[in-house]
Structure 1
């Protein structure tokens, strides 16, 4: 049985894993870089070990250093969180060789899931529908161009080793394809040191819908319902919700059966996610498996009543799933907003630096997974995600309104955040009506709407200030006396003239 877990990660996901471990009486080990000496996950763990410089390659991606800590600390299991080494099959295999329980799929299964072409072939063999495209890896831009002309533009160029929205380019003609092929190749090599590219048909007005899947080491598999992840920027998710507004119970069961087939096709164990594109005609197409715990897992926990990290630990311990598919029910509606340190008006550029003050929202059915505290720092070395704000309600609108209230309560000083954009989105008629798509921001001019909202908000906040200034001015007092003498020039006229 697992007694001591090293969390090979940082920030809110490290804290999230520690919470469940502490509840179960499992000791926790943290690792940290120069940048994270004062981070909460370091202070929360039972033991903490320094692993290197701030740059991920010299700390959180340093497999040998992390292995050294695992062995010296007496760790018997490792939780990779998400990002960093979470989907690195070489690292999973390193753990296996050293008899350390990797809390996730086997190295072989992870390798298969990470190879988009081999994974796609496995899905086709299992009768799981996939997006039309190249039958295998394309050798060069000329071959990619030929396939693109066969299936028709627009198409996506995708690195087999990509993930998290990286290593993907949308191209609409031969010239864009030539340029895009070089870009995707470079991005893939920069990220993982190698490149292999496939071509897929770009489906317009799609929705991104993923299914949480779960399979134990005895072959028992279930799905833990869907999440709608269509609101994105640059192929990276911003807002997720469950259930999806366009998935009824019949469709949920139909796609759920495909998800179980997908898990079996790659011999997947532990928790993972099968991701689909839902075309405008209602067809679902499998795109990939995320072989790890998802960023957005909290909202699935809220509607299912399950602790996903506990499930991961139980499966890693060799336990049988304690339920069947028929035992699982969805309860209510949950929404997650990824609170990013980004400047929306600078193309979502990262915003970093000290956070002198922060107020974390709380209350019934409000959950905030975060590493923030007054005086902390948002680092330029790591992902811009600062917090995951989640709300639950018995109806979608109650969950939505609760989220708006929570966003209003979330005060983060020192860095720009995505909070204003989320308020605009959640207040939009398109979001309220479930008119979601992966191009939601562009399709409905959300950035322009945000600008208008901010201008209106600024005006509303300025009115009391202007009124106060007028009331206390000597000019106002003199004008009141003048009006008593028959001068009817109004205060609004003074403001328009620039007198006030």
Structure 2
């Protein structure tokens, strides 16, 4: 194997390239036009642009990817995860063309990557599964009573939380089946769905296996991925803090037995639902590298991508089960471009500032994002993975909370603060969670997080004041430092929509004295480098991060919370240029999209009578469907979009009278 074409994008492409370089194997990376400016493309030895804009034309186009491999003389293809990674037709096409597919055989994929076939295989192997049915939408509507509510609808060819919906009542079922089928068709090219019983308050525990072409299968122990939103994992850890040693041995052996039953080759993951009584049920097998594989790598010391490549080259496993041990504890947080306060609404856009944490026990699997990079809305909203290792769970958790405080993403909404809040919550610390925990406790979690962020405003205010004055020390005039003339120099700052007046009493080289809330305050700012400072206030020291956005506009991070502080006596414009005029506001009754995206369904026509909460339009962004509902009773007297239109947040979709 001399050259690997990577049929994927983003952080997993970078991850594969890193191991390929270690093994001295050349790499080719395909990319869609939307990724043309991505920094990670430079990591590959060669790149190939795929024609077209949609997923079916690019990352799901088997013919184009095979042609790219041939054109660049790549003798192997690594599919990563998602896209075509579990597509048996793709694996077969590689084999037919004499290209090594770095993954399992098409036969193993057919047995396990289709969720319906996987359930049958597990049942034949004696592994317990939850009751379920499959069929056409009319058949499922007729047969669902045999399962009973609540139901879980899944895409048969799905994975990664895509194409999954929970239905509690019969009136919701038909729309949910149609939406799941539509999403499955769009993302996986297969609209087959099935229904299974929804288990209340389960844990999600999975087993990592690797098998070679000589018939040897071993496990690399377990991971727990119970903290999820929209059925998609956001925090994973290894080992599972829930399993007893006895249950761990049983579930890992079950994973090996099931993989061996289908002659599995390469790395794969067996996913299980675990009841409160620690009974486990086979959920599905992911016949590919898993997003959360780094926590297994950090706790076993085994490079899973390297194992995939060696197995694909025909090498027997050099590892034996008795030689594999878990050491310490690892936690992974998925970093998403999304807004937790808006039901995790995707948040594509331009990143104004980006800085990753670093240090011992911290790993970043990312796409080499930089400040001024654009996160497109065409793909999954995950932009990086942050992984920490510690000697035990508490050490890994503490390291993660510290790393999240040193992670900076400005310009787009993201889940950094939400993740930190979860990790600091007593329910996580004491392991009182389930796969439904976030969905059931979201509002409480957000409220608790907002309460935690109510720090004393003095620290960010003092930091902004001293920083702004130090910035002005190189100015030719003292008035550039303290603004327009006053008898007693006073500076008004705005923070959290509140005004704060600070009265200066002394400005020295080393410190600044001012009055705040009737108190005399002395503050000194010590530069620690890399935007890090220590603000000394009344002999107390507080670590802060300070960023200057515009003249007089500062972002202060203190105690893990970001504060935008504006100094009101400085004009907040750049290079004397006036800001652009505001976008035209839609007329009263105009319904706009909450994010840029693509219209995939228009549910009303002109003249349709609607009630509050009725579906108007579905806009897809970052592979998630977002329902736009009517805000009030009325009539749709204007429909301005059609299916397939791309819209931004200023375009009026529907007008309600």
TM-score, length-normalised on structure 1? Answer: 0.90
CA distance in 1 between counterparts of 2:188 and 2:407 reads 36
- Note closer, same or farther for the CA distance 1:131–1:84 as it changes in structure 2 (3 Å cut): same
CA distance in 2 between counterparts of 1:359 and 1:467 reads 20
Conserved 8 A contact 2:353-2:410? yes
| Per-residue deviation, residues 47-94 of structure 1 (Å, max 9, x unmatched) | 112112443222222222221111111101111111111112111111
Structure 1: 5+ residue stretches without partners: 480-489, 493-500
CA distance in 2 between counterparts of 1:184 and 1:403 reads 35
Larger helix proportion of the pair: 1
Residue 145 (structure 1) shift: 5.3
| Per-residue deviation, residues 202-255 of structure 1 (Å, max 9, x unmatched) | 110101111111111111001111111000011000000111111122211111
* Structure number with bigger Rg: 2
> What does residue 373 of structure 2 align with?
376
Of 413, 438, 450, the residue aligned with 1:454 is 450
> What does residue 335 of structure 2 align with?
339
CA distance in 1 between counterparts of 2:49 and 2:174 reads 45
| Per-residue deviation, residues 260-296 of structure 1 (Å, max 9, x unmatched) | 1111233221001100101122210001111110011
- Note closer, same or farther for the CA distance 1:327–1:477 as it changes in structure 2 (3 Å cut): closer
CA distance in 2 between counterparts of 1:456 and 1:120 reads 44
Conserved 8 A contact 2:82-2:159? no
> What does residue 326 of structure 1 align with?
322
Alignment of 1:97-136 (within 5 A): 97-134=96-133
> What does residue 162 of structure 2 align with?
166
Of 426, 429, 433, the residue aligned with 1:432 is 429
Tell me which moved more, 80-89 or 360-369: 80-89
- Note closer, same or farther for the CA distance 1:76–1:478 as it changes in structure 2 (3 Å cut): closer
CA distance in 2 between counterparts of 1:176 and 1:476 reads 56
Alignment of 1:74-473 (within 5 A): 74-134=73-133, 137-141=134-138, 143-144=139-140, 147-371=143-367, 372-443=369-440, 445-454=441-450, 456-457=452-453, 459-461=455-457, 465=461, 473=490
Conserved 8 A contact 1:104-1:291? yes
Structure scoring higher RCO (CA < 8 A, sep ≥ 6) equals: 1
Residue 457 (structure 1) shift: 2.3
CA distance in 2 between counterparts of 1:93 and 1:8 reads 15
Conserved 8 A contact 2:185-2:191? yes
CA distance in 1 between counterparts of 2:447 and 2:463 reads 25
- Note closer, same or farther for the CA distance 1:86–1:328 as it changes in structure 2 (3 Å cut): same
CA distance in 2 between counterparts of 1:362 and 1:476 reads 36
CA distance in 2 between counterparts of 1:186 and 1:279 reads 31
> What does residue 67 of structure 1 align with?
66
Structure 2: 5+ residue stretches without partners: 466-487, 492-500, 506-516, 520-657
Matched pairs, number: 479
CA distance in 1 between counterparts of 2:78 and 2:7 reads 6
TM-score, length-normalised on structure 2? Answer: 0.69
Matched residue SS, 2:420: helix
- Note closer, same or farther for the CA distance 1:473–1:180 as it changes in structure 2 (3 Å cut): same
- Note closer, same or farther for the CA distance 1:362–1:151 as it changes in structure 2 (3 Å cut): same
Residue 458 (structure 1) shift: 5.0
Conserved 8 A contact 2:111-2:118? yes
CA distance in 2 between counterparts of 1:309 and 1:266 reads 21
CA distance in 2 between counterparts of 1:197 and 1:327 reads 41
CA distance in 2 between counterparts of 1:468 and 1:412 reads 20
Larger strand proportion of the pair: 2
- Note closer, same or farther for the CA distance 1:313–1:467 as it changes in structure 2 (3 Å cut): closer
